[in-house]
Structure 1
Amino acid sequence: MTRTPLRPLARILAARRAGENPDIIERQNLAERHEAERDSARARAEGRLLVLGVVFLCAFTMVSLKMSMIAGSDPVEPRAAASGAQILATRADITDRNGRILATNLTTHALYAQPPLMIEPERAARELVKIFPDLQEERLLRQFTGGRKFIWIKRRISPEQQQAVFDIGDPGLLFGPREMRLYPNGQVAAHVLGGAGFGREGVSSAEVIGVAGLEKAMDAELRDPGRGDVPLALSLDLTVQAAVERILEGGMRLMNAKGAAAVLMDINTGEIVSIASLPNFDPNDRPQPLTTGDPGDSPLFNRAVQGVYELGSTYKIFAVAQGIEERLVSRSTMVDIQGPLRWGKHKIRDFRNYGKALSVEDVIVKSSNIGTARIAQMIGTERQQAFLGDLGLLETTPVELIEARGARPLVPKNWSEISTMTISYGHGISASPLHLASAYATLLNGGLKVEPTLLKKDYPVPGPRIISEDTSRQAREMLRQVVTRGTASFGEVAGYRVGGKTGTADKPKSTGGYYEDKVIATFASVFPVDDPQYVLVVTLDEPVETSGQEPRRTAGWTAVPVAAEVIRRVAPLLGLAPSLSLDVETGTPTGITLARN
């Protein structure tokens, strides 16, 4: 930029010749220079303000966009930047309905080696095999001398084992802190809890994740940092669960059964107080899944949930209840049971000859296949499908177990009239014992639908009405007759007025057809009948009762006595106490009524 002199010589000389004061020229030029500098500074300031305004506008725009993205996304717990902190995960305890611990966490250590730091690898390998017999000395030695810098030896060790390794004294054997899942009750409720293992691992920490059962199904809830120290409370009662498993194991051995399952459910809330499957396992030491053969032979298989079986005559009460609800029959309606009942090339027979006709009530009491099939013909296929669907027998159960998601009932692809007839007495359709318990609870609690749950409920949530209270009452009364004068006479338990229905179904072969000497025996029961509180389903796989001259496999001889013993033992634990009632004419005890303590 060209600067103008304050006292230009030409103008100064001209001013002096004209008798003017030359200083005026200097002051004018100085004023013009100051004004130009002021204008330039102002322009620079305005430019800077404009740039600063644009910067602030961009910053506020970015902040607004980020806030909008955060507001529209799911909340995520922030994690520390350190790699160890990224895989640290707390896991909530699991308790029964009374607060007793079913699953908790235990601080332990993992064992690893850094071969470059080892002094005597041969001695370390030799001593480690003494502490951990499942390790191989030759393999350890190859690893310690093979040039690797890091080797996992044991993911989890006990304090005693840690001390023994420490006593070896080799600086290359190191420990990493771990938090492992502990199940203090061992095998009790093993199929419910499932088990947990390690996910992502680091030297200083490891992620504990569910691998089966409720631990896997509710993994996100159990790992939620927002839970704090609040445990997950289940509907199970630990004392009742232990008693059911112990009785069921004894019954399974007594009846020479291959396996067994039991479901005890609150009839009004759907809360599962006990659910058992045998054979069992210890979730602290989960066995490996079977890679060959029948998955049902594995102790990991949950027969109460995953076991999808034909449950036989336990289904008959559904057909009769629907017939009464739709006013097609009454309990006293006589039904033709002359047989065999023919449909095309198919023949339906009864276990025994019951004569020419039975009342609807006696169709249940005597367990007549022909009588139930005739009632099903009156109902029809579409109405039967709709009713069984309302009872939850055609879909997977919503219970909080990962295994339940794959246990879908098996139904005919072509639901024809013959399917309707056989399904009415429990053949041609398969479901789990848990499905059956849920359906019985809905049918017998007054007709309100319940869904099974393993989570403790603070109060019942009524479901939609499926049948009327009157039909539900009549169904309970008919099931009571099955115990007092029908196929479940061994199911009577003094003090608790048990009602129930037996079911004996031939076991299907994997290659098609059915075994002649293998059955699935089931007893579905409710107690007390007059004021129903609980539903119990007991299922035995391939039972044989051998106390008589001939082997007996029917549910009345196998599943019923086991269920009766379960009720006898657990009813007092559930707060149900028996009391005698007197005959008004004779003054003698005639029955048992319920009294709560």
Structure 2
Amino acid sequence: MIRKPLRPLARILRARETGQDPDVIEAENRAERHAEIQDRARKRAEGRLVFMALGFVAAFGLVGFRMGALAASDPAEPRAQATGAQIISQRADITDRRGRVLATNMLTHSLYAQPNQMVDGKRAADALAKIFPDLDHERLVKDFTDPKRKFLWVKKKLSPEQMQAVHDIGEPGLLFGPREMRLYPNGRIASHILGGSAFGAEGVNSAEVIGTAGVEKAFDGWLRNPANEGAPLTLSIDLTAQSAMEEVLSSGMRRMNAKGAAGILMEIGTGEIVAMASLPDFDPNDRPRPALKGDPSDSPLFNRAVQGQYELGSTFKIFPVAQAMDLKLVNPNTHINSTTPMKIGKYSINDYHNYGPSLSVADIIVKSSNVGTVRIAQMIGVERQKAFLEKLGFFAPTTIEMVEAPTGKPIVPARWPAVTSATVSFGHGLAASPLHLAAAYATLANGGRKVTPTLVHGKKRAAGERVVSEQAASLALAMLREVVKRGTARAGNVEGYEIAGKTGTADKPRPGGGYYDNKVVANFASVFPYDDPKYVLVVTLDEPTGQLGGGESRVAGATAVPVAADVISRLAPILGLRPVGVKPLPDIEAPPKNKVKVAANQ
């Protein structure tokens, strides 16, 4: 900036020439300079005032907006910022096919202690031992009186009553942390399917719920995925049918003095499991610890329907017969040599009764002839027999959505000589689960197309591969119907519902080799209704003893079949199946009004 001189030389010389006072010029310039300085100072002051005014307006506007937002929001206690990784505690619900809750979450509290903040650790330990008798009183006293101890968990889950009782102790070193816990509102119902859950990563204010078994573990990632936005996992089971299955199966197990039982109800068209039970069972809200000693199958955690590996006995006989009919080797009226005993090398194969020199293929199934079945298996040949059973799924674990499924891999003979082919044809020498058996029978009832079991409802699936021709499957199903009408499963006739099925009784193997003389596994695999197959039901009893002809009997016809008949009687109405050929009760009509006599007042 160039400042204007106060005494410009040109004006000064001109003023002297004209006789003017040069000091006047200086005074004018000085006054002009002062005026400019004042103008600049005034403008700076005005700018500062405007800036300050805008700042005050913005500040008061922000304060007013925040006050309005707080006034419109719900009140909440301030919480300290948690350190470390965030714990995802939300877990999706599990429902049955009708949307009824099988597993959900419930807000509860945990109890933890800070001994260094306690006023009287011994008094607190004494009081807690009275509220929670399962706690170790001596251990509590030691922990609560340890000056170096800063933190310890006391109880991971508290009921409201327990929380109030702890609060009444009045000890500042006993603190509560909110968290979600997994709740199974139906208790023991579907316990083996659901499995159970436990706490994973834990913090004071939250805990991660993780699956430990069953579908809870199989779908653990899906149930914990926030991207699903809380959508429930819908299972294929029907809660009403599941409850009825477990109730009737439990009653039948006690009636037959069995040590265990399993039941599977499966939709033939979709492979969806409508009900699946294993007894004894447990409460997933209080899941017991796994057994470390003894036979794993003795534990209530053992799922007999999926993990059980049993020789399934005569229920297998329909498979070589169906395969032989598919290969055009026989038809239902073909007569087969049934002379007993039958020798294969040094081994003898006998029938329960002597059925004479020959039996038709249909009667081999109806009368459950071991010899006749072996003859048909010999016609098929070892390699074709193995390939057929593998197609039916008896060489691999089922793909059902449970973590226990791989442990139910069938026990298949490493070698397959002629005697193995013979015994496998009537259900001995190859051990598989009841679920394998249910899937195989569903395949026959499905017109020969393979059925894969599933626990997920509404899952779209491609049609299964063809295992046997539709004609052979239909003929096999007709033979199974005859077994119930006039064969070993006559006790399975349920009035109003046409049942087709096959019994199977297999001796239990000893752990050290050989078989028990008085212990069996009894099975009944059935299809209903016969004229329009919709469901497969498999009932398995472990070491049953029933009544037949006034004495004890362990055969499936006297043990598993009556129990299965009770299950079908109970489940068929629940499934919406109307009985056929049962006369309805007559309607009770009100008498006509003109025939009603009214007593006169006396």
TM-score normalised over the length of structure 2:
0.82
Measured against aligned partners, the alpha-carbon deviations of 1:255-310 in whole angstroms (never above 9, x if no partner) come to 00000000000011100000000001000000111111000000000000000100
Contact 1:108 1:180 in 2 (8 A): yes
Measured against aligned partners, the alpha-carbon deviations of 1:50-105 in whole angstroms (never above 9, x if no partner) come to xxxxxxxxxxxxxxxxxxxxxxxxxxxxxxx9546621232110000000000000
Contact 1:249 1:278 in 2 (8 A): yes
Contact 2:89 2:180 in 1 (8 A): no
Q: For 1:453, what is the secondary structure of its paired residue?
A: coil
The answer for the alignment partner of 1:438 in structure 2 is 439
The answer for the alignment partner of 2:263 in structure 1 is 262
Q: For 2:574, what is the secondary structure of its paired residue?
A: coil
1:355-434 maps to which residues of 2 (within 5 A)?
A: 355-434=356-435
Contact 1:336 1:356 in 2 (8 A): yes
Contact 1:268 1:460 in 2 (8 A): no
The answer for the alignment partner of 2:139 in structure 1 is 139
Matched, 1:220 2:211: no
1:222-261 maps to which residues of 2 (within 5 A)?
A: 222-261=223-262
1:279-298 maps to which residues of 2 (within 5 A)?
A: 279-298=280-299
1:26-425 maps to which residues of 2 (within 5 A)?
A: 82-83=82-83, 86-146=86-146, 147-425=148-426
Q: For 1:374, what is the secondary structure of its paired residue?
A: helix
The answer for the alignment partner of 1:451 in structure 2 is 452
Q: Distance in 2 between matches of 1:391 and 1:540?
A: 23
Q: For 1:578, what is the secondary structure of its paired residue?
A: coil
Contact 1:261 1:540 in 2 (8 A): yes
Q: Distance in 2 between matches of 1:160 and 1:547?
A: 54
1:554 Cα deviation from its structure 2 partner: 0.1
1:579 Cα deviation from its structure 2 partner: 2.7
Measured against aligned partners, the alpha-carbon deviations of 1:337-375 in whole angstroms (never above 9, x if no partner) come to 101111111111101111110000000000000000000
1:123 Cα deviation from its structure 2 partner: 1.1
Contact 2:448 2:473 in 1 (8 A): yes
The answer for the alignment partner of 2:50 in structure 1 is none
Q: For 2:551, what is the secondary structure of its paired residue?
A: coil
1:580 Cα deviation from its structure 2 partner: 1.9
Which stretch has the larger CA shift, 247-256 or 134-143? Answer: 134-143
| Structure 1 residue ranges (4+ consecutive) displaced by more than 6 angstroms after TM superposition | none
Q: Distance in 1 between matches of 2:441 and 2:478?
A: 14
Q: Distance in 1 between matches of 2:459 and 2:544?
A: 39
Q: How big is the alpha-carbon RMSD for the aligned residues of Structure 1 and Structure 2?
A: 1.3
Q: What are structure 1's unaligned runs of at least 5 residues? A: 1-80, 583-597
Contact 1:84 1:204 in 2 (8 A): no
Contact 2:89 2:206 in 1 (8 A): no
Q: Distance in 2 between matches of 1:300 and 1:84?
A: 36
1:581 Cα deviation from its structure 2 partner: 8.6
Q: Distance in 1 between matches of 2:84 and 2:277?
A: 39
1:534 Cα deviation from its structure 2 partner: 0.1
Amino acid at match of 2:508: K
1:549 Cα deviation from its structure 2 partner: 3.9
Q: For 2:138, what is the secondary structure of its paired residue?
A: helix
Q: Distance in 2 between matches of 1:238 and 1:299?
A: 21
Q: For 2:353, what is the secondary structure of its paired residue?
A: coil
Q: Distance in 2 between matches of 1:266 and 1:444?
A: 10
The answer for the alignment partner of 2:57 in structure 1 is none
Measured against aligned partners, the alpha-carbon deviations of 1:463-506 in whole angstroms (never above 9, x if no partner) come to 11111211111111000000000000000011110000000000
Q: Distance in 2 between matches of 1:375 and 1:82?
A: 72
Matched, 1:550 2:557: no
Measured against aligned partners, the alpha-carbon deviations of 1:298-326 in whole angstroms (never above 9, x if no partner) come to 00000000001000000000010000000
Q: Distance in 2 between matches of 1:130 and 1:244?
A: 41
Contact 2:337 2:358 in 1 (8 A): yes
1:450 Cα deviation from its structure 2 partner: 1.2
Contact 1:84 1:205 in 2 (8 A): no
The answer for the alignment partner of 1:491 in structure 2 is 492
Which stretch has the larger CA shift, 218-227 or 532-541? Answer: 218-227
Measured against aligned partners, the alpha-carbon deviations of 1:216-275 in whole angstroms (never above 9, x if no partner) come to 111111111111121000000000000000000000000000000000000111000000
Quickly say closer, same or farther: Cα 1:230–1:438, change in 2 above 3 A.
Answer: same
Q: What are structure 2's unaligned runs of at least 5 residues? A: 1-80, 584-602
Matched, 1:469 2:470: yes
Matched, 1:533 2:534: yes
Quickly say closer, same or farther: Cα 1:351–1:130, change in 2 above 3 A.
Answer: same
The answer for the alignment partner of 1:49 in structure 2 is none
Quickly say closer, same or farther: Cα 1:460–1:571, change in 2 above 3 A.
Answer: farther
Q: For 1:354, what is the secondary structure of its paired residue?
A: coil
Measured against aligned partners, the alpha-carbon deviations of 1:175-203 in whole angstroms (never above 9, x if no partner) come to 11111000000000000000000011111
Q: For 1:175, what is the secondary structure of its paired residue?
A: strand
Q: Distance in 1 between matches of 2:174 and 2:398?
A: 49
Q: Distance in 1 between matches of 2:481 and 2:547?
A: 27
Amino acid at match of 2:341: P
Amino acid at match of 2:432: A
1:575-586 maps to which residues of 2 (within 5 A)?
A: 575-580=576-581
1:430 Cα deviation from its structure 2 partner: 0.4
Contact 1:504 1:520 in 2 (8 A): yes
1:572 Cα deviation from its structure 2 partner: 0.8
Q: Distance in 2 between matches of 1:280 and 1:228?
A: 32
Contact 2:547 2:558 in 1 (8 A): no
Amino acid at match of 1:553: R
Measured against aligned partners, the alpha-carbon deviations of 1:106-144 in whole angstroms (never above 9, x if no partner) come to 110110000011111111111101110101222101001
Q: Distance in 2 between matches of 1:500 and 1:519?
A: 19
TM-score normalised over the length of structure 1:
0.83
Q: Distance in 1 between matches of 2:88 and 2:110?
A: 15
1:459 Cα deviation from its structure 2 partner: 5.3
Quickly say closer, same or farther: Cα 1:460–1:566, change in 2 above 3 A.
Answer: farther
Which stretch has the larger CA shift, 246-255 or 442-451? Answer: 442-451
Percent identity between the two aligned chains: 61
